[in-house]
């Protein structure tokens, strides 16, 4: 069975947590596509060459989850040639038998416009900055809020595959939801589509 769940949203919206939970619940494979951009950025050198030659070792680095890697990823992600080099891998992943969940910024709009389920997960910048700040314990809340706003602007304003909801995406604002509540909402959407 081919069944793709596309989950997009800004940094620290909760999309990764939701994606992992949905994958575990329904037995789907999960790809955090942000890791691809993070790995390209951390590989150093020419980002287009890095994207074309990305391998499993690059994705296994233990520094990919840092704030610095996220910031650097957002910068290389504006380059159309970097994005193009990563498309085929993501589409193949999405089509694997048994179902797949991909989370990122352009999954429902560019990578898998035919996905069976599309979710757009958001939360206010203040809520996301608070979560990031609690999670990392570095810098001040104001600094983290500034970083969140800068990253949002870069991801939303780029010309190629900007962050935006697909027209048929289900919007899920997690600002006032617990993780369990957000996952439950996502689960309902997936279960309803599977039952069709
Ligand atoms: O989801 P994340 O924070 O790991 O993503 C890091 C950066 O990678 C994000 O700011 C923009 C880029 N990205 C992207 O452009 N497209 C994706 N599908 C996933 C991430």
Nearest CA among 126, 128, 107 for reference residue 118: 107
For the segment 157-162, the average pLDDT, to the nearest whole number, is: 96
User: Could you give the number of structural domains in the chain?
Assistant: 1
Which atom of ligand 1 lies nearest, measured to the CA of 106? Answer: 18
Q: What residues does 4 pair with on adjacent strands? A: 100
Per-residue pLDDT of 19-60, as tens digits, reads 999 999 999 999 999 999 999 999 999 999 999 999 999 999
Q: Does 10 sit in the ligand 1 pocket, CB within 6 Å?
A: no
Q: At what angle do helices 80-94 and 34-43 cross, to 10 degrees?
A: 140
pLDDT over 90 at 137, yes or no: no
Range of 167's domain? 4-195
Which residue's CA is minimally distant from atom 15 of ligand 1?
A: 77
Q: Does residue 180 sit in helix, strand or coil?
A: helix
With a CB cutoff of 8 Å and minimum separation 6, the contacts of 47 are 40, 41, 76, 79, 82
Confidence of residue 136 (pLDDT cuts 50, 70, 90): confident
Using the predicted structure, report yes or no on whether residue 138 has a pLDDT greater than 90: no
Distance between Cα 71 and ligand 1 center (Å) = 9
What is the tens place of the pLDDT at every residue in 4-29?
A: 999 999 999 999 999 999 999 999 99
Q: Is the CB of 8 under 6 A from ligand 1?
A: no
Residue 107 above 90 pLDDT? yes
Pairing of strands 4-8, 100-104: parallel
Task: Please tell me the pTM assigned to this model.
Answer: 0.96
Q: What is the CATH number of the domain that holds 31?
A: 3.40.50.300
């Amino acid at each position: 069975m081919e069944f793709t769940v596309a989950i997009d949203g800004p940094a620290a919206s909760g999309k990764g947590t939701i994606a992992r939970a949905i994958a575990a619940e329904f037995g789907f494979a999960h790809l955090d596509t942000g890791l691809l951009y993070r790995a390209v950025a951390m590989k150093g050198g020419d980002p287009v060459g890095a994207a074309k030659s990305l391998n499993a070792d690059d994705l296994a680095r233990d520094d990919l989850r840092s704030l610095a890697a996220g910031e650097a990823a957002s910068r290389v992600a504006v380059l159309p040639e970097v994005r193009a080099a990563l498309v085929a891998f993501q589409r193949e992943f999405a089509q694997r038998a048994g179902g797949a969940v991909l989370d990122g910024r352009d999954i429902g709009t560019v990578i898998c416009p035919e996905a069976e389920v599309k979710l757009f997960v958001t939360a206010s910048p203040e809520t996301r900055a608070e979560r990031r700040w609690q999670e990392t314990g570095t810098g001040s809340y104001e600094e983290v809020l500034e970083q969140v706003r800068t990253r949002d602007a870069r991801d939303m304003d780029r010309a190629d595959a900007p962050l935006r909801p697909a027209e048929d995406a289900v919007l899920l604002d997690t600002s006032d939801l617990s993780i369990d509540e957000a996952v439950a909402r996502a689960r309902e959407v997936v279960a309803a589509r599977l039952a069709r």
